[in-house]
Amino acid sequence: MVGKDITAELRKRGFKLTPQRKAIISVLGNSNEHLTPADIHARLHKQYPNIGLVTVYRTLELLQESGLLCEVHIGDSCRSYLKRQRPGEHHHHLVCRDCGRVADFTDCELDQLRQRLERETGFRIGRHLLEFMGLCPQCKMKESSGT
């Protein structure tokens, strides 16, 4: 999903598209990497010196809750965000602990666990987030070769 697709989807859902939101969406739409709110804010600061970090966080929250953005946790509880490649598709992430590369996977088969947890705890589980941390093939190779 690119920035114009995200913008169109927000319009369709009746959200206002302020210049700040459009700028944030543009940064996300033009990136293929995970970006922290601070990364996004830094990229926007030259063009929009008055844009606040709170605006970035609020827009990211709106996009994530709308299913247009993926939240990824990269070490030390730092949240970063990726545009969804396939909106609406339930998926999870493999995250490289060294370089931060993120790969999606769709097959999680957690429905039985969810049902058991609901029975045992009384919680009603609405959604879940699953991430595996490890080494991507490139970092694994570097580690093996000692470089």
* One pLDDT digit (tens) per residue for the chain, 147 residues: 456 778 888 888 888 888 999 999 888 888 877 788 888 999 998 889 989 999 999 999 888 888 787 777 665 555 666 555 555 566 777 888 887 777 777 777 788 888 999 999 999 988 777 778 889 899 999 888 876
Residues 6+ apart with CB under 8 A from 107: none
* CA end-to-end distance (rounded Å), the chain: 36
Residues 6+ apart with CB under 8 A from 76: none
Q: Do 118 and 107 belong together in one domain?
A: yes
Q: Do 78 and 99 belong together in one domain?
A: no
Q: Do 68 and 114 belong together in one domain?
A: no
CATH number at residue 70: 1.10.10.10
Q: Which domain holds residue 1?
A: 1-87
Q: Do 1 and 73 belong together in one domain?
A: yes
Task: Please state, in angstroms and rounded to a whole number, the distance separating the CA atoms of residues 139 and 106.
Answer: 23
End residue of a domain, out of 87, 103, 124: 87
Q: Do 70 and 107 belong together in one domain?
A: no
Task: Please state, in angstroms and rounded to a whole number, the distance separating the CA atoms of residues 139 and 147.
Answer: 10
End residue of a domain, out of 35, 66, 87: 87
Task: Please state, in angstroms and rounded to a whole number, the distance separating the CA atoms of residues 38 and 45.
Answer: 10
Q: Do 83 and 94 belong together in one domain?
A: no
Q: Do 135 and 109 belong together in one domain?
A: yes
CATH number at residue 118: 3.30.1490.190
Number of structural domains, the chain?
2
Q: Do 74 and 12 belong together in one domain?
A: yes
Q: Do 83 and 98 belong together in one domain?
A: no
Kindly give the pairing relationship between strand 78-83 and strand 69-74.
antiparallel
pLDDT at site 90: 67
> Side chain identity at 29, as an amino acid letter?
G
- Per-position b or e across 89-124, b if 16+ CB within 10 A of its CB: eeebbbbbeeebbbeeeeeeeeeeeeeeeeeeeeee
Q: Do 83 and 103 belong together in one domain?
A: no
End residue of a domain, out of 54, 87, 120: 87
